[in-house]
Amino acid sequence: MSRVCELTGKGPMTGNNVSHANNKSRRRFLPNLNEVTLISDALGRAFKLRISAAALRTVDHRGGLDAFLAKAKDEELSPKALKIKKEIEKAQQTAA
């Protein structure tokens, strides 16, 4: 299981541990990933996604999974999230 957010594409970054004596050793900064269940209003289904805490706050701020995916860039989304986005767009087209 990769350490990449399925909605934002946020992944591990690298940097240095710096000691008091100013010794430097390489380290990784991992994203704060959580497995959450988000509900789509258009589809009326729940989806289990592994997303960062920052992405979860953004989903809440934008008004849910449907609104977040409508604004999200396709390059940042995982294949699973991209499939959900296409299903939501299709459901909204048939409803209109």
48 located within any domain: yes
Chain-centroid distance, C-alpha 86: 16
Domain total in the chain: 1
Indicate the pTM of the whole model: 0.87
Locate 41 and state its tokens. 């209003």
Residues of the chain with pLDDT under 50: none
Is residue 5 a part of any domain in this protein? no
**42 part of a folded domain:** yes
Residues 6+ apart with CB under 8 A from 40: 46, 47, 64, 65, 66, 84, 87, 88
Residue 69 belongs to a domain: yes
> What is the per-residue pLDDT across 28-44, written as a single tens digit (0 to 9) for each?
999 999 999 999 999 99
Which CATH number characterizes residue 72's domain?
2.30.170.40
Q: What is the mean pLDDT of the chain?
A: 96
Q: Which residue range forms the structural domain that includes residue 25?
A: 13-95
In a domain, 53, yes or no: yes
